[in-house]
Amino acid sequence: MVQHKLYAYAGRILWIDLTSKSYSTTDTPSDLVKNYIGARGFGTKILWDQLRPGTDPLGPDNKIVFSVGPLAATGIQSASRFFVTFKSPLTGGYFRSVGGGQFGAEMKLAGYDAIVIGGRAEKPTYLWIHDDVVEFKDASHVWGAMTTHASEHLIEETDCNAKLVVIGPAGERLVNYASIQTNDNRSAARGGGGAVMGSKNLKAVVIKGSKKPEVFDREELNRLIKEQLDVYMKNPAFEGFRQLGTNGIIYLFYTLGHFPTYNFRQAELENVDVFRPENLLPYVVKRGGCYACAMGCWQFFRAVKGPFAGIIWDKPEYETQCTLGSLIGITQREAIMYANMLCDLYGLDTISTGVTIAFAYELYEKGILTRREVDGLDLRWGDPEPVIELIRKIALREGVGNVLAEGVKRAAEIIGRGAERYAMHVKGLELAAYDPRAAKAHGLNLATSNIGASHMYGWSAPEIIGFPEKVDPLTAEGKGALCKRLQDEMALYEAAGICQFPMSSGMVPLDLLSKMLYAATGVEEFKKLEYLIALGERIVNLERAFNVREGFSRKDDVLPERFLREPYPRAPARGQVFELDKLLDEYYAARGWDLKTGVPTRNKLEELGLKDVANELERLGKHIT
C-alpha cells in the first residue's frame, strides 16, 4: 500500500523490547489512521494484533501501548490525552486507561503516535526518550520511591522540561490496581497498568520532544479552535468545571440517587452536606489544567484542620470522594484528601483502592474477616484511620494488604466464606461511584463495558444530567440502544484523543469534531459523520472480540447481585432493581451480537470491516453466528 503523507500525526510508532534493550520505529500505517483515527483506536488495534490469547498480563509477552490522537499538540482544546492499552491483571481482558496533563502532547512532539513496550527488563529501568533517541537507563536508585520522589529525580537527571509517567511502590509490587502517574499529578489509574509496568521492571517513561506536528490546513484549524473556545465559553458547565471540577456534582448526584454509600449497600449518608459545592470551594488554593485546555478542571485543595492540616494536593475527584469517603461512611474531608494523596504517592487507583477497602469493612462487619485477619485493625464504618493504614499495607502488600492488593474479585476467592457477595466489581474491575439501579443505561454500560465497571466507557449523560436530551433514568425500555450509542460515541471521541468532560457536556459537537479532524489530517473520510460513528462502533467491537478471544461471553456481562436483588432504598429510585437479562437482550440486539453469547456476529464484524477478526475467532474455535 502506498503510504501517503500523514498530517497532524507524528507519523511513527516506536516499538520497544525491554528484554533485549532494543527499539525500532515503523511508519504509522495510513489504513490504521483511516480505520481507527488514533489514541484508543490505535491502542485497541495494536493490542489485538500483538497479543496471543492467554497471554499472562504480568508476563513479558504482555504489551503496554501508549498512544495519542491526531489532534494532540495541534492547539485543539482538550485533545492531548494519552491512552494506555494493555491486557489487565485485574480483569484478564482488554483494557484502556486514560491520563491527562502534558505527557500526551510531549509524546507527539517527540515524534510518536504510539509507543509499544514489551518484554521485561533485567533490572529496574526507565526509558529516556528525547526525539529520535531512546535510552534504557538504570532505575535502581528510584526503585521503591514514591511517585513524586522518583519523578523529581528522573526529571533532574534528564531534562527539566521533560514529561513522564511513573509507577510507585504499588506498581513495583504488582498490586493489581496499581496506577500510572504523571509528573503533573495526573493518573492513568484504572485496570492495573502500573502493575504491568512493574512486571516489566519499568519504573518510568520520560519523554521530551521538539517536533511540532504539521497540520493539513492551519488557517482553518485556527478558525475551528476559536469556534471551539466560543462553544466552551457559552456552555453552562464550563464555569462549573473551572471552579470546582467534578466536585461540583457530588451533592447533586447524591440527590439524583448516585454517590453510593457503605459499599453500595446504602444510598444515605449522614452529614452529606460537607460535599455541597459551596462547602468544598473554600478548600481550593490553586488551579490548573491539561495541555491546551481552556476548561482547566484541576483544583488543588488545602486541608485546613485536624491531623492532616496544611497538606496541599490535587483534589479528590467525584469518584474518589465516594470510594475513599462515602463508601466507607467517611465524611471527614481532610482524611479523604490525605488518603487520595497517599494513593497518588504509592501509585494506586483511588477507585479500586476505596472499593476494596469498603469491601474489607463490610466483611469485618459481617464477621467474615476477624480482627486478627485484618492485622488487628478495627474496621468501623466512618473511621478513616484504618483506611490510611490499609492503603500502606495494600501498596506494600503487607499482611492483609497482600490479599486486598489482588482486587475484590480475587480477594473474595481467596477469603471464601461467602465474601464474593460483597465484592463490588464487573469482570474484576471495581465499580465506579454510581448506582446502576438509579440509571439503567449507565448500569448497562457498567455491565457490558469491555473493561469492566468503568463509568468512563459510556457515561450516560442523558440519564444522569439530562443532556443533550432528558431520558428517564429508571425505565428499562430503549436503554440497550442508548447504551450502545453512548459507548460508540465515547470510543470515537477517545480515538480522536478528546477528553470526556467537554465531550459529554456538549462542548465538542460531532460536526465540529469532524471538521477539526479533517482540517488537521486532511483525511477525506473524517468529513463524514456516519463514517466516524461506525468507526467508534468498530473499536468497541474489536475490544469485544479481544475479550471473546480470551474466553469472555454473556456470563461476564453481569452486575453484583446486590443490584439485581436488593431494591434501591430511597427516592428517586426507591424499589428499583436492575433488570439484567431484559436489558442485556436489548443491548445485544442493538449491537447485532448473538443474544445467547454476547459475541459479535460475523455479519456485524464484516459490516464493520472486521472480517479478519471474525476469521480469527473462528480459527480459534470461538462460536460466532
Partner 1 sequence: MRAQTMKVLVEFAWTLSEKVGRKYVWLDVKAEELNLQELFSRILPSILGEDLGKALNELFLNKEVFVVVNGVIAKDLAVKVKDGDKVFLQPIASGG
Between CA 384 and CA 377 the distance in angstroms is: 11
Residues 489-508 within binding reach of partner 1 (CB under 8 A): 501, 504-505
Q: Quick check: 443 and 578 in contact, CB under 8 A?
A: yes
Nearest approach, Cβ of residue 466 and partner 1 (Å): 4
Nearest approach, Cβ of residue 200 and partner 1 (Å): 32
- What sign has the CA pseudo-torsion 521, 523, 526, 532? negative
Q: Does 244 bind partner 1 (CB under 8 A)?
A: yes
Between CA 77 and CA 79 the distance in angstroms is: 5
Residue from 53, 60, 144, 277 touching partner 1 (CB under 8 A): that is: 277
Residue from 278, 367, 416, 565 touching partner 1 (CB under 8 A): that is: 278
Q: Does 571 bind partner 1 (CB under 8 A)?
A: yes
- What sign has the CA pseudo-torsion 325, 329, 332, 338? negative
Q: 564 exposed, middle or buried (CB, 10 Å; 0-12, 13-18, 19+)?
A: middle
Between CA 454 and CA 346 the distance in angstroms is: 22
Pairing of strands 114-118, 12-17: parallel
Residue (75 or 240) nearer to partner 1, CB: 240
Residue (171 or 257) nearer to partner 1, CB: 257
Between CA 620 and CA 622 the distance in angstroms is: 6
Beta strands in 42-124 (DSSP E): 64-67, 82-87, 94-99, 114-118
Q: Does 459 bind partner 1 (CB under 8 A)?
A: yes
Q: Judged by CB under 8 A, which stretch of 101-109, 219-227, 255-263, 526-534 contacts partner 1?
A: 255-263
Length of the chain in terms of residues written: 625
Q: Quick check: 188 and 179 in contact, CB under 8 A?
A: yes
How many of the chain's residues bind partner 1 (CB under 8 A)? 42
Q: Judged by CB under 8 A, which stretch of 12-20, 180-188, 272-280, 557-565 contacts partner 1?
A: 272-280
Residue from 236, 367, 416, 621 touching partner 1 (CB under 8 A): that is: 236
Nearest approach, Cβ of residue 471 and partner 1 (Å): 10
Residue (130 or 276) nearer to partner 1, CB: 276
Q: Does 433 bind partner 1 (CB under 8 A)?
A: yes
Q: Does 246 bind partner 1 (CB under 8 A)?
A: yes
C-alpha cell at 82: 494519552
Between CA 375 and CA 393 the distance in angstroms is: 10
Q: Judged by CB under 8 A, which stretch of 187-195, 339-347, 419-427, 466-474 contacts partner 1?
A: 466-474
Residue (222 or 235) nearer to partner 1, CB: 235
C-alpha cell at 185: 499529578
Residue from 237, 336, 508, 584 touching partner 1 (CB under 8 A): that is: 237
Residues 6+ apart with CB under 8 A from 269: 254, 259, 261, 326, 329, 331
Q: Judged by CB under 8 A, which stretch of 163-171, 202-210, 246-254, 299-307 contacts partner 1?
A: 246-254
Q: 470 exposed, middle or buried (CB, 10 Å; 0-12, 13-18, 19+)?
A: exposed
Nearest approach, Cβ of residue 245 and partner 1 (Å): 6
Residues 357-396 within binding reach of partner 1 (CB under 8 A): none
Catalog residues that contact partner 1 under the rule CB under 8 A. 236-237, 239-241, 243-246, 248-249, 251-253, 255-257, 276-278, 281, 297, 317-319, 432-434, 455, 459, 461, 464-467, 470, 501, 504-505, 571-573
